[in-house]
Chains A and B, each alone.
Chain A
């Protein structure tokens, strides 16, 4: 097993191509090192991407904020611009692991690990975030909800890596929020995670809404029907119940020690109502 630390995307991709399917990208390492130790991963080449500037910076652009794929959660939490525009995404990211994990783990890693219960992913889906990928065929972009294909699987092709995650600039009177349900308050894995991003008009009517739902299906997903149910409403009980029902319908969860199918499904609806209200409060302020 060899360790390489390239400083350009081109070199990083070339190392992955050379490894012929047996290379792994190392960002924060909080998933990879656990897998190495458990014998679940045994790559020939480990490509440390933390020396590539583009992957390590948060950049405010005219039409949004671009987060380097290897930026750690703590650095996201320290970024004023990100906190002001997408507080829900920052909250979701800061729920991942301990302070020690926060100092290393990245949003790009959370995406690539492709856990159905990844906390940052439903929040990114709600925000309408786009993933930038670089590989042997150059750059491509795709929506966060189209990235994971199954637990632990993504549609990254050989030699490809995530370079950044782009969050759009929110319209006036927009807000986002994320909540998860865990059996314990800290250091646990979500049994449901739900993010909402919405925009209000001057009367307080929802004009746009996106709902991201995690931990209740093989991958986190966009629940379009739930967002649609909120649009045109002032988040009255009836609209919230329709959106909650759309979330419950989208659930296809596992049954495990953390939560039964029935419980996870019920909680998906409960969280939708709570999260939508927080997002609306932020949008109105």
Chain B
């Protein structure tokens, strides 16, 4: 069976790749395109470590086929910083040590950025519910939530 030829946009850049039908978007990002920031935790959409944006909506790259990327716009953690300039969320995660082992961090950042774009002034409860699909195996949720809340306040002030 011929591979699927896919033309898509990743982090604003046009990208072409070939993939087998069974390959997920996460397989393609990590194995074919070398974008290893998105992590594989569960592979079943439960942990959120592979969170990416697909046409402006948050999704688990493990629950999407690579072939589905045709004509779509995908954003990954690699596109979050502007060159060397970290996104305010990234800066605050570093500053407030809102990470331990780091496996969940890229997915949490992508998800948190999506939240702040929709809702610049979320309550703590809203942050917790929005991020309920991002599991931290180190159970370091408190600092994550605080860093997101602090970033939201900072971005509103600027």
Contact = CB atoms under 8 A, between A and B. Distances in A.
A4 to B, nearest CB: 9
B46 A104 contact: no
Interface string B29-67: 000000000000001111010010010011110111101
A1 B1 contact: yes
Contact of A2 (B1, B46, B58, B129): B1
Given A3-B65, A34-B63, A99 B111 contact: yes
A186 B129 contact: yes
Interface residues of B, number: 33
A104 B57 contact: yes
Interface in A21-74: 26, 28-30, 33-34, 36-38, 46, 48, 50, 72, 74
A151 interface: no
A38 B4 CA distance: 22
B21 A104 contact: no
Interface in B68-126: 68, 70, 111, 114-115
Contact of A33 (B4, B45, B130): B45
B22 interface: yes
A103 interface: yes
A70 B115 CA distance: 23
Q: Name which of B1, B22, B60, B64 has the most chain A CB atoms within 10 A of its CB.
A: B60
Interface in A63-97: 72, 74, 97
Contact size class for A?
A: 20 to 34
B132 interface: yes
Interface of A: 1-3, 5, 26, 28-30, 33-34, 36-38, 46, 48, 50, 72, 74, 97-104, 186-187
Given A29-B68, A30-B45, A98-B133, A36 B59 contact: no
B38 to A, nearest CB: 12
A104 B22 contact: no
B63 A104 contact: yes
Interface of B: 1, 4, 20-22, 24, 43-46, 48, 51, 54, 57-60, 62-65, 67-68, 70, 111, 114-115, 129-134
A37 B64 contact: no
Nearest to B135: A187
A48 B80 CA distance: 29
Residue of B4, B58, B131 with most partner-chain A CB within 10 A:
B58
B21 A1 contact: yes
A99 B65 contact: no
A34 B22 CA distance: 11
A185 B24 CA distance: 29
Contacts of B21: 1-3, 46
A46 B115 CA distance: 32
A7 B111 CA distance: 30
A231 B109 CA distance: 50
A98 B62 CA distance: 14
Nearest to A28: B63
Contact of A100 (B1, B22, B48, B65): B48
A74 B24 CA distance: 22
Contacts of B130: 99
A99 B122 CA distance: 15
B60 A101 contact: yes
Given A46-B21, A102-B58, A104-B57, 5 more contacts: A1-B20, A5-B70, A37-B44, A100-B60, A101-B133
